[in-house]
């Protein structure tokens, strides 16, 4: 891995069929930080996020050029095993998507898939630890057998994050994780994301520039599939280098 970076791309291009969604992305994202991706709808933020664990390959005909390194590995090399990549690079989506199972079984699902030989007692420890990390354990420890879909949206989203943690991921990808939440839920999830930075690198797509300012260490502004500007969040919002960045953050388009 390039020193202090968890993601590095070099002239990376990406196509859905004949449509080019990303253009010549060359960037490096710091490890152990929260990096925000901002920009208008359709600018390539979510596409880029999904490229980092190759989950967008489920959508049909795709192709790429250039390179993407995650954790020092070229993730498009033929030797890459997708289950292992997605274990190291976990993703949470815009709408909470807990499995139609119990709260406990949501956490156990990944454990059973990736660690089939793990003892039940060890798996129970992982369930508790994961729920503790997202601040849910004390609230729901007596309801583990209840359906996960009965939880509030905010708790469902925290559960979806907890579901990733037994895999010991190095990078968490969050695609607008607060867009379906009310203000109290947004605050709870943002506090959780800050806490997660202690142990994980986080990349978050957000349409809220205020959210990017509140929680991120660095921000990438994308437009029409290109990276326009990347800087420390405080610098990008107070002293953008490019007029297009300034126009966007001042609400002149987007």
- All structural domains of the chain, each given as residue ranges with its CATH number in brackets, are 5-94+171-249 (3.40.50.300)
Residue 70 has pLDDT above 80, yes or no: yes
- Read off the pLDDT of residues 179-217 as tens digits, 9 standing for 90 and up: 888 999 999 999 999 999 999 999 999 999 999 999 999
Residue 72 has pLDDT above 80, yes or no: yes
Q: Give dist(CA 87, CA 80) in Å, integer.
A: 12
Task: Please state, rounded to an integer, the average pLDDT across all residues of the chain.
Answer: 93
Q: Determine contact, residues 129/122, Cβ cutoff 8 Å.
A: no
Using the CB atoms, write b or e for 72-106: b if 16+ within 10 Å.
eeebeeeeeeeeebbbbbbbbbbebebbeebbbbb
Strand 34-38 relative to strand 218-223: parallel, antiparallel, unpaired?
parallel
Strand 62-70 relative to strand 73-74: parallel, antiparallel, unpaired?
antiparallel
Residue 247 has pLDDT above 70, yes or no: yes
Residue 2 has pLDDT above 60, yes or no: no
Instruction: Give the pLDDT mean for 47-73.
Output: 92
The pLDDT score that the predictor gives to residue 3 is 53
pTM of the model: 0.93
For residue 173, what is the DSSP state?
A: E
For residue 165, what is the DSSP state?
A: G
Instruction: Give the pLDDT mean for 225-247.
Output: 96
Residue 147 has pLDDT above 90, yes or no: yes
Confidence of residue 60 (pLDDT cuts 50, 70, 90): confident
Q: Give dist(CA 206, CA 221) in Å, integer.
A: 11
Is residue 129 helix, strand or coil?
helix
For residue 148, what is the DSSP state?
A: G
Q: What percentage of the chain exceeds 70 in pLDDT?
A: 98
For residue 11, what is the DSSP state?
A: E
Q: Determine contact, residues 162/63, Cβ cutoff 8 Å.
A: no
Is residue 189 helix, strand or coil?
helix
Instruction: Give the pLDDT mean for 4-24.
Output: 95
The pLDDT score that the predictor gives to residue 58 is 78
């Amino acid at each position: 891995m390039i020193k202090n970076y968890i993601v590095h791309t070099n002239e990376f291009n990406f196509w859905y069929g004949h449509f080019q969604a990303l253009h010549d992305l060359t960037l490096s994202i710091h490890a152990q930080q929260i990096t925000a991706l901002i920009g208008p709808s359709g600018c390539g933020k979510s596409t880029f996020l999904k490229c980092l664990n190759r989950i967008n390959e489920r959508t049909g005909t795709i192709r790429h050029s250039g390179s993407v390194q995650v954790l020092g590995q070229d993730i498009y090399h033929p030797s890459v095993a997708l289950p292992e990549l997605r274990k190291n690079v976990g993703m949470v989506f815009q709408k909470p998507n807990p499995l139609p199972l119990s709260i406990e079984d949501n956490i156990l699902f990944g454990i059973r898939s990736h660690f089939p030989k793990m003892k039940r007692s060890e798996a129970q420890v992982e369930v508790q630890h994961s729920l503790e990390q997202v601040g849910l354990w004390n609230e729901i420890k007596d309801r583990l057998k209840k359906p996960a879909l009965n939880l509030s949206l905010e708790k469902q989203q925290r559960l979806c994050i907890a579901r990733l943690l037994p895999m010991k991921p190095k990078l968490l990808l969050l695609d607008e994780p607060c867009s379906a939440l009310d203000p109290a839920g947004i605050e709870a999830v943002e506090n959780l994301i800050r806490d997660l930075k202690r142990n994980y690198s986080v990349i978050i797509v957000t349409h809220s520039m205020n959210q990017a300012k509140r929680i991120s260490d660095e921000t990438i502004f994308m437009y029409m599939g290109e990276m326009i500007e990347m800087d420390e969040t405080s610098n990008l919002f107070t002293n953008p280098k490019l007029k297009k960045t300034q126009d966007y953050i001042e609400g002149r388009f987007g």
